Amino acid sequence: MERWPTTRLLSTAARLVEISWNEKLKNIGLTHAGVIAMEVLAAKGPITQAALAEVARVKAQTMGTTLARLELHGHVSRQRSDSDRRSHVVTLTDAGSAALAEAVRLEQDVLALVEVDTARLRDELKIVVRGLAGIPALDGSAGDANPQL
């Protein structure tokens, strides 16, 4: 690993974290993708499935698959939009809110096994994500200018 480029270290770490987290999440009927969708719903409230896919930066078809699983477990509900019968409005359920709170706790458990300054790691990762996604920080720092990141 000492000779690996930073990008390989980052992608390997990301895969290992996601595998570990998904292992914990499956016990509450969730996946990493489902948690992302639920976090967006918790932050924005009920929104259309298309808007949810856009905010989560995934294809609408991918979001549809994720939502079907979440709906099966009672974490979200989908209703036809009153203004556009072709679209669905997605809402986080009470059971979904409880599962999301548990998922946040489980996420903390994943990195608790590793000796790392998680606050500093988080700040550095936000800089990477914002830089590569072309999202400037409001004050030039790594602060939460965009709560979705």
Q: Is 146 contained in some domain?
A: yes
Residues 76, 146 within the same domain: no
Residues 52, 119 within the same domain: no
Residues 95, 126 within the same domain: no
CB-based contact 66:90 (threshold 8 Å) = no
SS3 16: helix
Q: Is 135 contained in some domain?
A: yes
Residues 14, 63 within the same domain: yes
Q: Is 130 contained in some domain?
A: yes
What is the average per-residue pLDDT within 40-44? 97
**What does the pLDDT look like over 13-26, one tens digit per residue?**
999 999 999 999 99
SS3 76: strand
**What does the pLDDT look like over 75-108, one tens digit per residue?**
999 998 787 777 889 999 999 999 999 999 998 8
Quote the number of domains for the chain. 2
Q: What pLDDT does 147 receive?
A: 47
Beta strands 76-80 and 88-92 are: antiparallel
Residues 135, 86 within the same domain: no
CB-based contact 22:31 (threshold 8 Å) = yes
Q: Which domain holds residue 127?
A: 115-149
3-class DSSP string for 87-120: CEEEEECHHHHHHHHHHHHHHHHHHHCCCCCHHH
Residues 51, 97 within the same domain: yes
Q: Is 1 contained in some domain?
A: no
